[in-house]
């Protein structure tokens, strides 16, 4: 089975984030976004020194984790290598 990265994000990652209790809010990055006020937010296309990350997870205004989506069939090691650049 193959999926492109966008489909992986929308049909797998977004659904899992929204299914958590309490659910995570998924928002698009904006230059005007004040990350200090974010609580349980996944920010899409968050800028980093190595280009935009698929998701940046924020809790209590602090960056918790970066998520890089890969299409189904790409090995986990590829994603780990990409994420190390962030």
> Does residue 76 register a pLDDT over 70?
no
> Are the CB atoms for 25 and 41 separated by under 8 Å?
yes
Give residue 58's Cα distance to chain centre.
Answer: 10
Over residues 3-30, the pLDDT tens digits come to 587 778 888 899 999 999 999 999 999 9
Over residues 27-64, the pLDDT tens digits come to 999 999 999 999 999 999 999 999 999 999 999 999 99
Domain ranges of the chain: 5-84
Give the pLDDT score at 1: 39
Q: Where are the beta strands (DSSP E) in 6-68?
A: 25-28, 41-46, 53-59, 62-67
Give the pLDDT score at 9: 83
């Amino acid at each position: 089975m193959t999926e492109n990265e966008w489909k992986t994000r929308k049909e797998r990652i977004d659904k899992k984030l929204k299914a958590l209790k309490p659910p995570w809010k998924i928002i698009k990055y904006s230059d005007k976004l004040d990350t200090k006020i974010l609580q349980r937010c996944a920010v899409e296309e968050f800028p980093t020194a190595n280009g935009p990350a698929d998701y940046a997870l924020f809790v209590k205004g602090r960056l918790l984790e970066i998520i890089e989506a890969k299409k189904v069939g790409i090995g986990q090691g590829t994603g780990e290598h990409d994420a190390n650049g962030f």
